[in-house]
Chain A
Amino acid sequence: MNVLDVTRARERIERLPQRFLPVIATFVVFVLTFGTGSVLYDGFASPQILTNLFVDNAFLIVLAVGMTFVILTGGIDLSVGAVAALSTMIAAATLQAGWPPLLSVLAVLVAGTALGLLMGLVIHFFDVQPFIVTLAGMFLARGLCLLISVESISITDPAFRTVATGTITLAEGVTLTYSVLIALAVVLAAVYVLHLTRFGRTVYAVGGSATSARLMGLPTGRVRVGVYAVSGFCSALGGLLFSLYMLSGYGLHGVGMELDVIAAVVIGGTLLTGGVGYVAGSVLGVLVLGTVQTLISFEGSLSSWWTRIVIGVLLLAFIMFQRLIVRRTE
């Protein structure tokens, strides 16, 4: 048995980088892209550009957090973009109808969570592929948007506008919005839930091996349904942040956003097969996407489609990188 002691020391050294390798890699990519920008363009390496990454992508961060929960169980949620759009729509329409802002926010969060919960229940109890169910959820949410209105509705509520335009000054000339604070609060809450609650640990267990988790007597059903509710809630909240960002509700907001979110999560090192990944990675993934976007807008002459191409290349690179790691540890 003492042989095991010998390997123990070795394991301890190997363990840390092994587990965090994808997240560290994402961080390195982030630093590299940001570094490239700083070298190429004057004024890129400013604190405000860095904080703008958070300001412009607060809603994506929130969506990515929800998606991380789902992907960690080995599932997928294609409805997040549509649910976010539906949220902007519900918010704008209810505000237009004169609801108090708080009630309107509550309605959005309840609707999003309920939709997520519903999809989770169908996935679990009817044992249908999450891909199919959330695809249906996506169509449903887009349809509901158009049911409310086919036009874009602008948000004129003074309270909403105050929150949207309000800034917090970090330092001379460096400002944040309230959305960023909300997004960061969501990230902290998610880290807490995933790592320090039984629900969170069961999320990882289900992703590692669903049959084992069931035989271990873990509440796998509750967790499988729960992650879609979490994702629904995050989509709704992300939608609210998006409506603050755009100050309008529109049924065609965030078309294809679900794919950006999935890309961010995967670039952040979360395995699509489940069980492995960190929220921090997903946040970094969003930041990488944001940096690429900023780079391209700095260039000016490039069309925004370049963002798509770079994201595509990055995504491929990351998936190959993950395969390599998985193969090496096998």
Chain B
Amino acid sequence: MTETPTRSADPVVDMRGITVEFPGVLALAGVDLRLYPGQVHALMGENGAGKSTLIKALTGVHPPTSGSIHLNGGPVEFTAPAQAQAAGISTVYQEVNLCPNLSVAENILLGREPRRLGAIDPRAMRVRSAQLLERIGLSVDPGSVLGSHPIAVQQLVAIARALAVDARVLVLDEPTSSLDTDEVGELFRIVRVLRDEGVAILFVSHFLDQVYEIADRMTVLRNGALVGEYLPQETERLELVSAMLGRELGTLEEVERRAEERTPGTAPLLTAEGLGRTGAIAPFDLEIRASEVVGLAGLLGSGRTETARLLFGADRADSGTISVDGRQVRPRGPRSMIAHGVALCSEDRKAEGVVADLSVRDNLVLALQAARGWMRPVPRRTADALVEEYIERLDIRPADPGAIMGHLSGGNQQKVLLARWLITRPRLLILDEPTRGIDVGAKAQIQKVVTELAADGMAVLFISAELEEVVRVCDRVVVLRDRRKVTELDGDTVTVDEVMAAIAEHEPEAVAP
């Protein structure tokens, strides 16, 4: 930090005593938040603490039940996101909220398309959106359909959209949850430029490193209440974490220990030989044994998700074979792999289809029932016991089986999605970014559950952009680069540095002559 930001300026946004009530839930109780021009303000808290709700109260999605909002000194009462946008508040909401059926260019410029003689000017749209994409360092064809891109790209497009207007306030709700280090760096570069131009920025993230890197001030929420405002240079990380959790953090060491205890089976459960698909991933070999957690690491676009989809049969391979228990299988779509005990928990929560209108219990039971086949009903008592167990194990909040899925916070929805797969006890579980958007405490919890299940005999393929996490839970790490498997690390070589080096192309041995 070169200069300590001055606080003499008046706040752009001044929220006081904000209370938001949903039927039966007090999501926010009297929270204050002030955003100053030229400052990055981090909003911190556990899953379900009320961060997204506070943002939605500001932008008119959920107008507050009580409390006041002042923008540039004047009181405002937004009742629709369009009004907040018109008043200069540009927002990237937590879930990617774009239209998958439209092109990238349109998603960036919808509602403010350049026009000539009253008609939208397609050429100007291309040019303008290409400029915005270049600004955030994303090279995709503006004319391509948004839905054809991975979540990370969609996330970046959402950010490009937010940057398309000259906003006075920029709100970013977990913009980095599906991004890699490079993209985060690029995003932060832009955030700093905007900050220096005097934009007030509100930033939500569960990554402490990122918060400490970019934030000028931090506000912590817990259970819908304000805990306090902190300055990063005066606050220890542990202090911040305890402020968020209301307790100390202690599960991480346990994960470490469990990993030692596992004894992978000897015969491979799943073997892929020369498996590949043109344009998605070059032919590769892979073996996964029971009780083994294999990591898949690589940058955005390196072919992680594509590999998972091939193994799961969601995409058809055009070369190579897959064998389960030494016998070759011809995956004709996911169903045949599911029949062999393989499950894929995809990175795309929205498309994955948690049923938003059903309760947490029903969502879990649906998966359980589907896995058992409709002929064998799950006894109600067993189902309830399992649901209770997983709500507790994954710390789903509210811990109420009857809570409506769509009302859960982003992180808690992710936990339910994960529970849906865990509860069916597959033999091989492929997890694509399972801890996306999940807070520090719950993340350790999930890692613990994964390692416990592996100790019980489940094989896991673990995909994550967060190397620390991969290294912590995995016995073996497969590294991908440019849609090609480059190496496999195991034993003592599973360290963040080694994996990083493998991703970044230069061999660590080669560096020292």
Residues of B within 8 A of A330 (CB): 351
Residues of B within 8 A of A207 (CB): 101
Query: Do B279 and A211 touch (CB < 8 A)?
Result: no
A10 to B149, CA, bound (A): 13
**CB-CB nearest in chain B for A276:** B101
Q: Give 1 or 0 for each of A219-239: 1 = CB within 8 Å of chain B CB.
A: 100000000000000000000
Q: Which of A112-120, A197-205, A280-288 has 4 or more CB atoms under 8 Å from chain B? A: A197-205
Residue of B93, B97, B122 ringed by the most chain A CB atoms within 10 A: B97
Q: Report the minimal beta-carbon distance from B404 to chain A, rounded to whole angstroms.
A: 15
A330 to B316, CA, bound (A): 12
The answer to the question of A161 belonging to the interface, with a C-beta cut-off of 8 Å to chain B, is no
The answer to the question of A196 belonging to the interface, with a C-beta cut-off of 8 Å to chain B, is yes
Q: Could you tell me how many residues of chain A have their Cβ less than 8 Å away from some Cβ of chain B?
A: 39
* CB within 8 Å for A209 and B119 given contacts A11-B141, A217-B111: no
The answer to the question of A208 belonging to the interface, with a C-beta cut-off of 8 Å to chain B, is yes
Query: Do A275 and B141 touch (CB < 8 A)?
Result: no
Residues of A within 8 A of B91 (CB): 215
Query: Do B111 and A202 touch (CB < 8 A)?
Result: yes
* CB within 8 Å for A201 and B110 given contacts A1-B301, A4-B301: yes
Query: Do A218 and B101 touch (CB < 8 A)?
Result: no
The answer to the question of B252 belonging to the interface, with a C-beta cut-off of 8 Å to chain A, is no
A5 to B133, CA, bound (A): 13
Query: Do A216 and B110 touch (CB < 8 A)?
Result: yes
Q: Report the minimal beta-carbon distance from A274 to chain B, rounded to whole angstroms.
A: 8
Residues of A within 8 A of B80 (CB): 214, 217
Residues of B within 8 A of A4 (CB): 138-140, 153, 301
Query: Do A197 and B99 touch (CB < 8 A)?
Result: no
Q: Report the minimal beta-carbon distance from B142 to chain A, rounded to whole angstroms.
A: 11
Query: Do B111 and A215 touch (CB < 8 A)?
Result: no
* CB within 8 Å for A204 and B85 given contacts A1-B301, A196-B119, A218-B110: no
Residue of A4, A207, A212, A219 ringed by the most chain B CB atoms within 10 A: A212
* CB within 8 Å for A212 and B279 given contacts A4-B140, A11-B148, A204-B102: no
A7 to B351, CA, bound (A): 22
**CB-CB nearest in chain A for B161:** A216
The answer to the question of B184 belonging to the interface, with a C-beta cut-off of 8 Å to chain A, is no
A4 to B91, CA, bound (A): 26
Residues of A within 8 A of B483 (CB): 3, 6
The answer to the question of A308 belonging to the interface, with a C-beta cut-off of 8 Å to chain B, is no
Interface set, chain A 123-150, CB cutoff 8 A to B:
none
Q: Give 1 or 0 for each of B72-88: 1 = CB within 8 Å of chain A CB.
A: 00000000111011100
Query: Do A197 and B120 touch (CB < 8 A)?
Result: yes
Residues of B within 8 A of A15 (CB): 143-145, 148
Query: Do A212 and B482 touch (CB < 8 A)?
Result: no
Residues of B within 8 A of A323 (CB): none
A67 to B118, CA, bound (A): 25
Size category of the B interface is: 35 or more
Residues of A within 8 A of B102 (CB): 201, 204-205, 208, 275
Q: Give 1 or 0 for each of A1-28: 1 = CB within 8 Å of chain B CB.
A: 1111111101110010011000000000
The answer to the question of A213 belonging to the interface, with a C-beta cut-off of 8 Å to chain B, is yes
Query: Do B120 and A275 touch (CB < 8 A)?
Result: no
Query: Do A1 and B99 touch (CB < 8 A)?
Result: no
A15 to B102, CA, bound (A): 12
The answer to the question of A306 belonging to the interface, with a C-beta cut-off of 8 Å to chain B, is no
The answer to the question of A99 belonging to the interface, with a C-beta cut-off of 8 Å to chain B, is no
The answer to the question of B14 belonging to the interface, with a C-beta cut-off of 8 Å to chain A, is no
The answer to the question of B317 belonging to the interface, with a C-beta cut-off of 8 Å to chain A, is no
Residues of B within 8 A of A41 (CB): none
**CB-CB nearest in chain B for A273:** B101
* CB within 8 Å for A8 and B141 given contacts A196-B119, A215-B61: yes
Partner of B279, one of A2, A7, A219: A7
The answer to the question of B229 belonging to the interface, with a C-beta cut-off of 8 Å to chain A, is no
Query: Do A217 and B81 touch (CB < 8 A)?
Result: yes
A11 to B97, CA, bound (A): 23
The count of A-to-B residue pairs whose CB atoms sit within 8 angstroms is 113
Query: Do B482 and A3 touch (CB < 8 A)?
Result: yes
Main secondary structure of the interface of A (DSSP, over half): helix
A201 to B125, CA, bound (A): 13
The answer to the question of B137 belonging to the interface, with a C-beta cut-off of 8 Å to chain A, is yes
Residue of A18, A198, A214 ringed by the most chain B CB atoms within 10 A: A198
**CB-CB nearest in chain B for A327:** B333
Residues of B within 8 A of A275 (CB): 99, 101-102
**CB-CB nearest in chain A for B100:** A208
Partner of B182, one of A1, A6, A208, A217: A1
Query: Do B482 and A201 touch (CB < 8 A)?
Result: no
Query: Do A19 and B139 touch (CB < 8 A)?
Result: no
Partner of B101, one of A197, A202, A204, A216: A204
* CB within 8 Å for A216 and B97 given contacts A1-B301, A11-B148, A19-B145: yes
Residues of A within 8 A of B155 (CB): none
Q: Give 1 or 0 for each of A165-205: 1 = CB within 8 Å of chain B CB.
A: 00000000000000000000000000010011110011011
* CB within 8 Å for A192 and B119 given contacts A3-B302, A19-B145, A217-B111: yes
The answer to the question of B106 belonging to the interface, with a C-beta cut-off of 8 Å to chain A, is yes
Q: Give 1 or 0 for each of B294-328: 1 = CB within 8 Å of chain A CB.
A: 00000011100000000000000000000000000
Q: Report the minimal beta-carbon distance from A221 to chain B, rounded to whole angstroms.
A: 9
Query: Do B81 and A201 touch (CB < 8 A)?
Result: no
Query: Do A216 and B98 touch (CB < 8 A)?
Result: yes
Query: Do A201 and B106 touch (CB < 8 A)?
Result: yes
The answer to the question of B498 belonging to the interface, with a C-beta cut-off of 8 Å to chain A, is no
The answer to the question of B395 belonging to the interface, with a C-beta cut-off of 8 Å to chain A, is no
Residues of B within 8 A of A3 (CB): 301-302, 482-483
List 14 A–B pairs whose Cβ atoms lie within 8 Å, in order of A's numbering.
Answer: A3-B301, A4-B301, A6-B279, A12-B144, A197-B119, A198-B120, A213-B99, A213-B110, A215-B97, A217-B81, A275-B99, A275-B101, A276-B101, A329-B148
Closest 3 CB pairs of A and B: A208-B99, A217-B85, A208-B101
Chain B interfacial positions (CB closer than 8 Å to A): 61, 80-82, 84-86, 91, 93, 97-102, 106, 110-111, 113, 115, 118-120, 122, 137-141, 143-145, 147-148, 153, 161, 182, 279, 300-302, 351, 482-483
Chain A interfacial positions (CB closer than 8 Å to B): 1-8, 10-12, 15, 18-19, 192, 195-198, 201-202, 204-205, 207-209, 211-219, 275-276, 329-330
